[in-house]
């Protein structure tokens, strides 16, 4: 009897190969990280993902801790990745990011980047492994309590390890 099994509901991007790699798209109520070296294109890819989801009539919040929203909007325009359902915000603090989520009523939330967010309640330095871990656990909890897809960018070193201070 398969009645006890839960089926993950997915939010596909519409990019067949990408969605296939994710098992059918981004899983609802899940937290996904996009990791890679600085400058490799994680922000650009994330913006394009947000646009692809927004074009399906879904609401997407793209929150940047690295660049101001005007710069991101200009990049979105160059990439032809603008859409009324793609809301772009920026800030440096964890509190600003978390408080912006419920007001957008988003289907997907993208944080660019978890490695650069400042948590006022955490004594660890910005980008430390400990802070990234704690914020990641909070994002996992938020995703599980909602119907959101949450994706965050995390920087890695050239050796493939999560970038950041070890504190």
Q: How far apart are CA 26 and CA 5, in angstroms?
A: 19
Higher pLDDT, 59 or 119: 59
Q: Which two tokens stand for residue 120?
A: 């006022």
Q: How far apart are CA 99 and CA 133, in angstroms?
A: 20
Q: Count CB neighbours of 137 within 10 A.
A: 11
Residue 55's pLDDT is what?
97
pLDDT in tens, 41-95: 999 999 999 999 999 999 999 999 989 999 999 999 999 999 999 999 999 888 8
Local structure of 11: helix, strand or coil: strand
Q: Reply yes or no on whether the pLDDT at 11 is more than 80.
A: yes
Torsion of CA 72, 106, 147, 9, to 10 degrees: -60
Q: What's the chain's average pLDDT?
A: 86
Hey, CA dihedral for 82, 66, 152, 150, is it positive or negative?
Answer: negative
Q: Reply yes or no on whether the pLDDT at 163 is more than 70.
A: no
- pTM summary value: 0.87
Q: Count CB neighbours of 154 within 10 A.
A: 21
Residue 167's pLDDT is what?
44
Hey, CA dihedral for 15, 18, 24, 30, is it positive or negative?
Answer: negative
What are the counts of helices (DSSP H) followed by strands (DSSP E) for the chain? 5, 7
Q: Reply yes or no on whether the pLDDT at 165 is more than 70.
A: no
């Amino acid at each position: 009897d398969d009645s006890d099994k839960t089926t993950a509901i997915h939010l596909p991007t519409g990019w067949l190969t990408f969605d296939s790699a994710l098992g059918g798209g981004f899983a609802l109520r899940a937290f996904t990280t996009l990791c890679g070296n600085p400058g490799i294109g994680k922000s650009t890819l994330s913006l394009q993902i947000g646009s692809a989801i927004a074009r399906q009539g879904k609401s997407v919040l793209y929150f940047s801790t690295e660049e101001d929203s005007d710069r991101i909007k200009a990049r979105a325009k160059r990439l032809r990745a603008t859409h009324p359902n793609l809301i772009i915000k920026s800030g440096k603090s964890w509190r600003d990011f978390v408080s912006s989520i419920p007001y957008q009523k988003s289907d997907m939330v993208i944080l660019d980047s978890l490695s650069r967010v400042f948590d006022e309640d955490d004594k660890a330095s910005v980008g430390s492994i400990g802070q990234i871990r704690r914020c990641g656990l909070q994002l996992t909890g938020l995703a599980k309590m909602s119907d959101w897809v949450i994706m965050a960018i995390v920087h890695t070193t050239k050796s493939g390890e999560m970038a950041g201070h070890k504190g």
